[in-house]
Amino acid sequence: MTSRHFRLVQALALVVLAGVIAAPQLLAQYMKAPDAYTVTENNMMSGPGSTTTVYRDGSKALMEITNAQGGHTRTLYDLQAGTSMSWSAENATAGCSSGTFSGDWGDPFASSADMTKDLAKPEVKMTGTETINGFATKVYEITGPTAAQSAKAWVDNKYGLVIKANVGAMGTMVEVKTLSVGKPAAAVFVLPPSCAKAAAAGPPMTPAQQMIADTGIKNAADYADAGMAPASPSTNSCTVNFKVVRAGTMEPITNIVGMGLDLDQNSNGSYTVGAGANGSHYSGGTIKDVTSQYRNGILRIDNAPAHFRLDVEFKNGDVSALIYRQCFQPQTVLMVIVKDPDNLAGQPAHWLWSKTGK
């Protein structure tokens, strides 16, 4: 999916530039954006030398990207359902990939409105008017301390569409070549026959849905992925009660072969599973054998550091992960959920923090 909004708002100069365009007194002069149109543009988000064409008819939209080598990819969006289907125009027989989305899907009108919303900066000046690619536009500029901090945009007088935007040394980020308001041909939105199977199967499960399907938990919101660094890390340590449980029943799995814990914050995880010194299941690295501390289905980790590594050995395989601390209570539950500890091949293991302490 291409997005003119994502790339442009990351350029500080254009964020500032967009602010003046978005001043309330200016927004009022634009007509309501159409919901049936065809827009063709050059968009750096799609890759250098590529062309993006967006077709929309109400709740249906199709985006076609032609790269510099002439390859075509197409994505059909159901804007109401929040689902998409993508395929190669050159090899439609290869089938489609389905997906889900929310928010910005690449609508050039909505993206322009987002770029120009709620930002008004006096540094930006309207420097004149210009007709570019057949569009009557107002030209807005900001001159920064360096060329890299300067920007220029041409904004359509009718809809407030950003027709062209140059951002510092990056050059032209987006340039609209053509706009046709009205319904595109119905054939544009027809899936190729080879995509019928994927369409019938429906969109893939979201990560939360997949986690529920794999583990049998009732509410994904009660858990956090322990293998992902949190956006706001816990500043205080906590006691971690680690459990190994079976998917579906959440019954503790106690017949493990070995369990290793590495609390070294500089560890690279370079250890070997196997007979170590003094009967340990591990050798090398800084991992410690804590198998004997796993009692009644719980390993207690006092004052858990910001991240640590855990390894659980079963008879026919193992699961391991680098865990990022999240303290939801003074004693927080961490669990790894597996479907069948005797047959780990091909099955996922989910490492989760329980927000409820259960």
DSSP state of 59: T
Average pLDDT value for residue range 55-81: 91
Around 200, how many Cα atoms within 13 Å sit in the side-chain half-sphere? 7
Q: What is the pLDDT of residue 143?
A: 78
Q: Do residues 182 and 36 touch, judged by C-beta distance below 8 A?
A: yes
**Domains in the chain with CATH codes:** 4-201 (2.50.20), 207-354 (no CATH)
Q: Which of 68-72, 206-210, 231-235, 256-260 has the highest mean pLDDT?
A: 256-260
Q: What is the pLDDT of residue 123?
A: 72
Exposed (0-12), middle (13-18) or buried (19+): which is 43, by Cβ within 10 Å? buried
What whole-number distance in Å separates Cα of residue 34 and Cα of residue 56?
9
Calculate the average pLDDT of the chain. 82
Q: What is the pLDDT of residue 241?
A: 96
Q: What is the pLDDT of residue 117?
A: 52
What whole-number distance in Å separates Cα of residue 164 and Cα of residue 300?
59
Average pLDDT value for residue range 221-230: 88
Containing H/E element for 156? strand 151-156
What whole-number distance in Å separates Cα of residue 123 and Cα of residue 131?
24
**What radius of gyration do the chain's Cα atoms show?**
27
pLDDT tens digits for 303-312? 999 999 999 9
Tell me the sheet residues that pair with 216. none
Q: What is the pLDDT of residue 218?
A: 83
Report whether pLDDT(270) > 90: no
Containing H/E element for 200? helix 196-201
Burial string for 70-87 (b: 16+ CB within 10 Å, else e) reads eebbbbbbbbeeebbbbb
| Minimum mean pLDDT range among 75-89, 110-124, 161-175, 240-254 | 110-124
Q: Do residues 11 and 170 touch, judged by C-beta distance below 8 A?
A: yes
Pick from 312, 323, 255, 319: nearest CA to 281 = 312
Q: What single string gives the DSSP state of each residue in 249-311?
A: T--B----SEEEEE--TT-----EES--GGG-SEESTT-EE-GGG-BTTBEEETT--SEEEEE
Number of residues that make up the chain: 358
pLDDT tens digits for 292-328? 999 989 999 999 999 999 999 988 888 889 999 999 9
